[in-house]
Structure 1
Amino acid sequence: MKKLFSSILWSFRLAWKTCPGTLVSVALSLAVIACIPLSQSLLIGNTVSALSGSNGGTAWIYIVALALVVGINIIAKRWVISNMLILKSKVNYRVHCMLNNRLSTFPLSDIGSTKSQEDIRAAREAISKQELQVHTMSVMTLVSAFAMVLLLCLNIANVSIVAAIFAALCSLPLSIAMVILAKRDYAIYTLMYEDYRAENYYLDNLMAQSRAQELHLMRASRFFSQRVASWRRRAAGRELSLESVRGIISIVAGLLCSVLLFASLYFLVDSGANISYVAGSLIGIIACVDATQEVGYSFGQIINGALSVQQFRRVCDSDTYDHVSEIKTSNPNHENISKIICKDVSVQYEGSSSFALKDINLELMNNQMIAVVGASGAGKTTLINAILGITPIAQGSITYKGASSESKYNMLANVGLVSQ
């Protein structure tokens, strides 16, 4: 729970620093939307009361006011959607810049480790999943929905507390259904993406001209086309299963919502409420249910977004990895670079029991062209990475212009490389 609140506060600080005006605009618009069901309930109740009392002039005033409220509701919702997209876009740009700037100051000793690579990959995925960018908006949407239900139920509680409780419960079935569906969607879509990725692999081979010709010569085209159909059929099956379950859960949630709505209206009538009050409460409850049915998705985004925030902050905000200032180089003249000396160099990768390179002795002279030749896996790239200081050496030494290659930042500042 502490991590959840910490993630929420961090998201709000990020949104405030990125676009404070848009954040305030969204908050104010959601506050207006939260008051709409209560306003509709009161206006409809007063309209019915005025019409039943043959007070046509007053009824028209309430009807005009009701039309204005409906118009404000539509405008506010569109305004919120537009500003949320703006805020999401700006936050997305900012977090990309934050991560890229952080990686530019990452120590070489850390960036090559398995743990740091896992953390960096998780931070990238946190951005690509878009949960981090909408975390603040999900929290604000959830708070707005809670305020909406609370305001309406407080008004109903003036007549019947039991009716108010059932009115509040009306919003739960669809919200819970959305939470269940959100979890199922996440699990199913993850598998579907894997199916589509496998399908695209075989499809790309069929469509690429040179590879398609090779497959035709090997008489393997039919096999690849069958694999495309197989993976597509598997993904379609998952999607159909997802939609069938979605329909069943939605029907059950709708029936529960209807029962709770009936109970709320029953206790309202039983408490002696007049027809105008019951009519207004009915419209207000339906408006609340309609407005809060997507709250389940917002709740799921808050939980998932908190995890994404933690993954992002582990790289960008924590002290787990040191920061390195801009590399300072001596900018040596080309003629002063004499040679690179590798003496008894051995390289052993983490987790391996054998050496990738063993006892390498090499001198690279100034202006000398050297070809490193060997079979695949012989260690050509490993040797280059060791000379650059990217891959740590287990034994021996590499000196460059009189300095050890272990001074990696000085090394990289004076070496250029174009990989294949």
Structure 2
Amino acid sequence: MKKLFSSILWSFRLAWKTCPTTLVSVALSLAVIACIPLSQSLLIGNTVSALSGSNGGAAWIYIVALALVVGINIIAQRWVISNMLILKSKVNYRVHCMLNNRLSTFPLSDIGSTKSQEDIRAAREAISKQELQVHTMSVMTLVSAFAMVLLLCLNIANVSIVAAIFAALCSLPLAIAMVILAKRDYAIYTLMYEDYRAENYYLDNLMAQSRAQELHLMRASRFFSQRVASWRRRAAGRELSLESVRGIISVVAGLLCSVLLFASLYFLVDSGADISYVAGSLIGIIACVNATQEVGYSFGQIINGALSVQQFRRVCDSDTYDHASEIKTSNPNRENISKIICKDVSVQYEGASSFALKDINLELMNNQMIAVVGASGAGKTTLINAILGITPIAQGSITYKGASSESKYNMLANVGLVSQDYGR
């Protein structure tokens, strides 16, 4: 729970630093939307009361106000969607820049380790899943839905507390159903994509000209076409099962909502509320149910987004790789290195049973031109990487004479390297 709240706070700080005006605009719009069901409930109740009292002028005023509220609701929803897309785009750009800048200043002692590579891949996946970018918006949507239900239920509680409790419960069945369906969708869609990938493999072989001719000569075309049909049939079966379960769960959730709504209205009538108040409460509860039925997806995005935030922060916002700050400067100190001395240097790769290099002694003078010559696999690249600090040494030492700075990264400002991979 502590990590969840920490991730939420970090997401809000990131969104605020990225685009504060858009974040405030979304928050204010969601606050307006949260007040819509209560406003509709009060206006409809007053309209019915005015009509029953033959007060046509007041009824028309309430009807115009109700129309304005509906219009404001539509505009606010469109505005929220537009600003959420803007915020998502800007946050997406910012997190990409943060990760790329972090990777560009990663210390040589860490960049090649297995753990750092796992952390970097996890951070990349956290960005590509797009859950980190919408984390703030999911939290705000959930809070807005909770505030919407709370405001309406507080108004109903003035007449009947029991009715208010049942009114609050009306929004739960569909929200819970969405959570269940979201988890099921993720699991089944993953299997469906695997089915489609297998189908495309056989289909590509049938459609490629040279491959299709080979299959025809080998009398294997029919087998491949049968495999295409088999994988398509399997994917279609999963999709039909998914939609069938979705329909059943939605119907059950809808029936539960109806029962809870009936109970809420029953206790309202039993408490002595007039017909206008009951009518307004009915419309308000239905509006809340319609507005909060997708909240289940927001809840799932909050949980998944928190995990993505933790994966991202492990690389870009933690003390694990804090010594990368040694090379954050774009203009490091340039020292006049007079000599590089390698003394009894040995290199052994992780998991290897023998040394890749053993007891290497070498002196490199300033402005000296050298050639590293040897058979393939003799360790030429390993030696250069060891001198540059890319590959850690197992034994011995490498000394840089004339470098007054304590950081070896400042020494690397004097080195230029063209790898053989770039010359191929």
Q: TM-score, normalised by structure 1?
A: 0.83
Hey, what does 2:210 align to over in structure 1? 210
Say which is worse superposed, 223-232 or 362-371, in terms of deviation: 362-371
CA contact (8 A) 1:175 1:295 kept: yes
- Contact kept, 8 Å, 2:179 with 2:300, in 1: the verdict is yes
1:316-335 aligned within 5 A: 316-325=316-325
Moved more, 240-249 or 264-273: 240-249
Deviation at 1:158, TM superposition (A): 1.4
Deviation at 1:266, TM superposition (A): 1.1
Native 8 Å contact 1:389 1:411 kept in 2: no
For residues 35-68 of structure 1, the C-alpha deviation after alignment (integer angstroms, 9 at most, x for no partner) is 1001111111111111112211111111111100
**Once superposed, what is the RMSD of the aligned Cα atoms?**
4.5
Q: Does 2:352 match 1:352?
A: yes
> Unaligned stretches of 5+ in structure 2?
none
Once structures 1 and 2 are overlaid, which stretch shifts more, 380-389 or 48-57?
380-389
Distance 1:60 1:327, change over 3 A: closer
Structure 1 residues 365-394: Cα deviation after superposition (integer angstroms, max 9, x where no partner): 999999999999887876775565433344
- Displacement of 1:189 in angstroms is 3.0
8 Å Cα contact 2:99-2:316 kept in structure 1 = yes
The alpha-carbon distance between structure 1 residues 402 and 245, as it changes in their structure 2 partners (threshold 3 A), is: farther
**Displacement, 1:215?**
7.8
Q: Is the CA contact (8 Å cut-off) linking 2:105 and 2:328 kept in structure 1?
A: no
- Distance in 2 between residues matched to 1:377 and 1:230, nearest whole Å: 48
Q: Are 2:137 and 1:125 equivalent residues in the alignment?
A: no
Does the aligned pair in 1 maintain the 2:334–2:414 contact within 8 Å?
A: no
**TM-score scaled by length of structure 2:** 0.82
CA spacing shift, 1:305–1:333, aligned 2, 3 Å: closer
1:233-272 aligned within 5 A: 233-272=233-272
Contact 2:18 2:91 in 1 (8 A): yes
Q: CA deviation at 1:350?
A: 1.8
| CA-to-aligned-CA distance 1:289-335 (integer Å, 9 cap, x gap) | 00000111111111111111111111111111133357599999999
Contact 1:126 1:308 in 2 (8 A): yes
* Stretches of structure 1 lacking an aligned partner (at least 5 in a row): none
Q: Which residue of 1 aligns with 2:179?
A: 179
After superposition, give the CA deviation of every residue in 1:178-220 in whole Å (9 maximum; x if it has no partner): 1111222233333444445555566667777888888889888
Percent identity among equivalent residues?
A: 98
User: How far 1:157 sits from its partner (Å)?
Assistant: 1.1
Q: Distance in 1 between matches of 2:122 and 2:329?
A: 32
Distance in 2, Cα, partners of 1:17 & 1:46: 44
Q: Secondary structure at the match of 1:330?
A: coil
Question: 340-349 vs 125-134, which deviates more?
Answer: 340-349
SS of the counterpart of 2:325? coil
Q: Which moved more, 1:67-76 or 1:104-113?
A: 104-113
C-alpha contact (below 8 Å) 2:153/2:164 kept by paired residues? yes
- The 1:413/1:261 distance shift into structure 2, 3 A limit, reads same
Cα 1:128–1:280 change in 2 (3 A) is: same
Q: Distance in 1 between matches of 2:211 and 2:389?
A: 38
Instruction: Note if contact 1:105-1:323 (Cα within 8 Å) is conserved in structure 2.
Output: no
Distance in 2 (CA, whole Å) between partners of 1:205 and 1:25 is 52
Residues 329, 147 of structure 1: alpha-carbon distance in 2 compared, 3 angstrom cutoff = closer
Secondary structure class of the residue paired with 2:398: strand
Aligned residues: 420
Query: Could you give the per-residue CA deviations for residues 62-105 of structure 1, whole angstroms, max 9, x where no partner exists?
Result: 11111000000000000000011111111111111111111111
Structure-2 change in CA distance of 1:336 and 1:9 (3 Å): closer
| Residues 187 and 404 (structure 1), Cα distance of their counterparts in 2 relative to 1, 3 Å cut | farther
Note closer, same or farther for the CA distance 1:14–1:120 as it changes in structure 2 (3 Å cut).
Answer: same
1:254-311 deviation per Cα after TM superposition (whole angstroms, max 9, x unaligned): 1111111111111111112221111111110000000000111111111111111111
- The answer to whether the Cα contact below 8 Å between 1:388 and 1:411 also exists between their aligned partners in 2 is no
Cα deviation, 1:232-267, whole Å, max 9, x if unaligned, reads: 554444333322222221111111111111111111
Instruction: Measure, in 1, the Cα distance between the counterparts of 2:56 and 2:232.
Output: 63
Q: 1:353 to 1:306 in 2, by over 3 A?
A: same
Going from structure 1 to structure 2, the CA distance change for 1:336 and 1:298 (only over 3 Å counts) comes to closer
What is the distance in 2 between the residues matched to 1:25 and 1:331?
A: 40
